[in-house]
Amino acid sequence: MATIYHVSPTPISLPILHQKSYREGKSNANKKRHDWSDTYCTSILSALVPALGPNSRILLCEQIMNTTLGFEQIPKAPEPLPANYGAVKRYSHQRDLCLMSTLNGIERTPDQFRKIVEGAGLRIERFWECRSQVGLIEVRLK
């Protein structure tokens, strides 16, 4: 259930269905990025680039996949727990399998998000933990 938050004085046009954009405030650009292939995700993010200024940020609210070994971009759980907090993240992996089998979509790891974001000419500033199934990915211009 991803949502892009973007504030810009410039109206934006996105190549997706059910798009709402506003001159100021929240742009509900794509609620389910995990339903889209990497190509479409890159295209959606690329459409935002012309409206971004040097201080603009895009916050992607996404389910960020983590493994028991963890990723350097995401803080690890305290010992003796696995890096991804163990059984608590079971739902994330079950949802990933459901998306793959029914919609040809996926829940992405930090490295997979980086590939999409950099393909759109942007860079990831930071991954934000939210103590829930989802996290925030702060994205800026390169």
Residue 34 is among the residues annotated as catalytic for this protein: yes
Which listed residue (6, 18, 34, 93) is catalytic? 34
Q: Are 11 and 21 in contact (CB under 8 A)?
A: yes
Query: Which tokens is 35 given?
Result: 């339903």
Own/partner long-range contacts of 122-126 (Cβ < 8 Å, ≥24 apart): 122/45, 122/49, 122/58, 124/73, 125/57
The catalytic site residues sit at: 34
